[in-house]
Amino acid sequence: MNAAELCAAPHSEPRAPGFSTPSRACDCHVHVFGPHRDFPLVAERMYTPPPALLSDYHRMRGVLGLQRAVIVQPSVYGTDNRATLEAAAAGGEDFRAVVVVDSDTPKSVLHTMHDAGARGVRINPMFSRNADLSDLKRLAHSLADMGWHLQVLVDVSQLEGLETLAEALPVALVFDHMGHVPTEKGIHDAGFQSLLRLLGQGRCWVKLSGAYRVTAHDHPPYDDVTPFAKALLQTNPEQLVWGSDWPHPRIPVPMPNDGDLMDLLDTWVPDVETRDRILVDNPARLYDFEATG
């Protein structure tokens, strides 16, 4: 096995956010890890997480006042989606999953995953040595008639032809962590501007998450991320969702408190009606939850 970075555990005492969390609020980016004896990690991986069980997440989301969640398949499990799908199934109608599959995965397998709560497929070139953006087109055509989307973890400042790629796909693209552009590149970066155009045209979704992955600061509120969040909000708040990124694997800064992370949303989106759409209504549309009205 290649050397894999050992990750820190999440904050043991999360606090409630400073604003009132609306009913049916959704955390759209969560990972679960372990038990490792039941769900072994792939040998070729870039990090080694400590166990972060669904029961641990339930405690955290209870403190934050979150009802719904989307379990996202992490790179350390490769295409073994058992931990992710079992967690989503255990959450019932309040949980969904985003899985990682091969481009030639049979439709019958995808339909079984759909029944377990899956609504999207993730491509992760940043933390997976085997991910390939060329898989996007092959996967998209398999997913088009299922109402699924493609979720992409990529630094859009390093991705050429983003708009051309999106135009060629028959499914929605969902970008993790605000497009993962390092803040020193600024909001006028060509890749981020392409992302804004796609968002403005309604051709993609963006997760307001992972501020600590792009900031130059060590602690919240990561003020240098605010211009990026504001630019996304001014462009199209109807296709933005929020995620905690719990348990925060392989982050380049000290482990934050989850309450501080949720308070970032209050800083970025002080308008309550808009913030509630991002937490409730937008996720309901993207992840096929029961209508909120």
In the chain, the amino acid numbered 232 is L
Q: Which residues, including other chains, have CB under 8 Å from residue 160's CB and lie 6 or more apart?
A: none
Query: How many angstroms separate the CA atoms of 225 and 4, rounded?
Result: 28
Query: How many angstroms separate the CA atoms of 189 and 151, rounded?
Result: 21
Specify the 3-state DSSP secondary structure of 14: coil
Instruction: Count each helix (H run) and each strand (E run) in the chain, helices first.
Output: 10, 10
261 closest CA partner among 242, 279, 277: 242
Q: Which residues, including other chains, have CB under 8 Å from residue 288's CB and lie 6 or more apart?
A: 96, 119, 147
Query: How many angstroms separate the CA atoms of 224 and 218, rounded?
Result: 11
Q: Reading across the β-sheet that carries 26-30, which strands appear in turn?
A: 26-30, 68-72, 95-99, 118-123, 149-152, 173-175, 204-208, 240-242
Q: Which residues are catalytic?
A: 245
DSSP code string of 181-224:
--GGG-TT-HHHHHHHHHHHTTSEEEEE--GGGT-S-SSTT-GG
